[in-house]
């Protein structure tokens, strides 16, 4: 009886996970196909092939769906980073992560702009996006090899600050102030700026070059 219950529970869990993934897949398709990068919950249920209440049962509402899509994107970035051989110290790895994350977003810019842009909406409860993004940059930092100063501060703060810098780049990208072609350079320059204060003398040259190569905002008219 116990084994039977376990199998039943396992099947139920798999079905729930499959339904969640179907809803998220459908949300991505709707964001990709919509001229306004929007979707209604009714259209979402129809696209996913589930009942109208199913997305609500699994996520609670549209805000939670967008947050789940964000977590999915961050997970894809981490997976791609792990799958691609990354040599060098933490500085090399962070700059590589900037490129990996940017290139993934540029594969489906309409979808990812809608997802990231929607995260800025007022929500009744704080999201976990910053924490999830911090974990992504913690992965890139590795064992902090290559840092010369204040390692204790670096351990506690670097990943969080890298996450903030990258999110800032995405905000200007969504607003059209950073072009698709400049996104990777902007992300790398932001990451290099965060790392600069912790880098040894032999690594500062690379970071300064990366910062200098980043795009600049257009001049303010008037």
Q: Is residue 205 domain-shared with residue 190, that is, in the same domain?
A: yes
Q: Is residue 11 domain-shared with residue 114, that is, in the same domain?
A: no
Q: Is residue 197 in some structural domain? A: yes
Q: Is residue 78 domain-shared with residue 40, that is, in the same domain?
A: no
Q: Is residue 107 domain-shared with residue 145, that is, in the same domain?
A: yes
Q: Is residue 103 domain-shared with residue 141, that is, in the same domain?
A: yes
Picking from 12, 44, 60, the residue at the C-terminal end of a domain is 60
Q: Is residue 221 in some structural domain? A: no
Map 157-177 to HEC letters.
HHHHHHHHHHHHHHHHHHCCC
Which residue is it, tokens 């798999």? 14
> Quick one: pLDDT at residue 122?
59
Q: Is residue 17 in some structural domain? A: yes
Q: Is residue 220 in some structural domain? A: no
Q: Is residue 222 in some structural domain? A: no
> Quick one: pLDDT at residue 121?
67
Give which of 162, 192, 189, 187 is closest to 98, Cα–Cα. 187
Q: Is residue 54 in some structural domain? A: yes
Q: Is residue 52 domain-shared with residue 85, that is, in the same domain?
A: no
Q: Is residue 195 domain-shared with residue 89, that is, in the same domain?
A: yes
> Quick one: pLDDT at residue 6?
57
94 φ/ψ angles, rounded to the nearest 5 degrees: -65, -45
Picking from 15, 39, 60, the residue at the C-terminal end of a domain is 60
pLDDT in tens, the chain (222 residues): 465 555 556 777 788 888 899 999 999 999 888 766 678 899 999 999 998 999 998 998 888 899 999 999 999 999 999 998 678 899 999 999 999 999 999 999 988 998 998 887 656 667 789 999 999 999 999 888 777 767 677 777 899 999 999 999 999 999 999 999 999 999 999 999 999 988 888 999 999 999 999 999 877 765
Q: Is residue 1 in some structural domain? A: yes
Structure tokens at 154: 């670096």
Q: Is residue 155 in some structural domain? A: yes
Q: Is residue 121 domain-shared with residue 179, that is, in the same domain?
A: yes
> Quick one: pLDDT at residue 2?
60
Which residue is it, tokens 């102030």? 177
Picking from 9, 27, 60, the residue at the C-terminal end of a domain is 60
Calpha distance 63→120 (Å, rounded): 10
CATH classification of the domain holding 84: 1.10.357
Q: Is residue 41 domain-shared with residue 139, that is, in the same domain?
A: no
- Give the Cβ contact number of residue 130 at 10 Å: 14
134 φ/ψ angles, rounded to the nearest 5 degrees: -60, -40
Q: Structural domain of residue 173, as residue ranges? A: 62-212
pTM, whole model, 2 decimals?
Answer: 0.85
Q: Is residue 167 domain-shared with residue 91, that is, in the same domain?
A: yes
Residues 210 and 98 sit within 8 Å (Cβ to Cβ):
no
Q: Is residue 82 domain-shared with residue 32, that is, in the same domain?
A: no
| Number of domains comprising the chain | 2
> Quick one: pLDDT at residue 37?
66
Give which of 151, 179, 162, 158 is closest to 98, Cα–Cα. 162
Q: Is residue 53 domain-shared with residue 106, that is, in the same domain?
A: no
């Amino acid at each position: 009886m116990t084994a039977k219950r376990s199998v039943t529970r396992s099947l139920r869990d798999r079905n729930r996970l499959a339904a969640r993934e179907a809803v998220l897949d459908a949300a991505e398709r709707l964001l990709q196909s919509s001229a306004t990068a929007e979707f209604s919950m009714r259209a979402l249920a129809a696209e996913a092939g589930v009942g109208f209440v199913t997305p609500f049962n699994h996520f609670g509402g549209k805000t939670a769906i967008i947050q789940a899509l964000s977590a999915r994107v961050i997970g894809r970035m981490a997976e791609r980073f792990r799958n691609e051989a990354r040599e060098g110290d933490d500085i090399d790895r962070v700059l590589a992560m900037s490129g990996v994350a940017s290139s993934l977003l540029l594969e489906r810019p309409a979808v990812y702009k809608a997802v990231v842009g929607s995260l800025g909406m007022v929500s009744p409860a704080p999201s976990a996006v910053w924490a999830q993004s911090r974990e992504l940059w913690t992965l890139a930092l590795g064992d902090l090899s290559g840092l010369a100063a204040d390692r204790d501060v670096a351990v506690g703060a670097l990943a969080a600050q890298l996450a903030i810098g990258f999110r800032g780049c995405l905000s200007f990208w969504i607003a059209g102030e950073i072009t698709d072609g400049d996104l990777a350079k902007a992300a790398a320059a932001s990451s290099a700026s965060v790392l600069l204060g912790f880098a040894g003398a032999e690594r500062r040259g690379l970071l300064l070059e990366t910062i200098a190569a980043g795009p600049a905002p257009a001049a303010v008219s008037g």
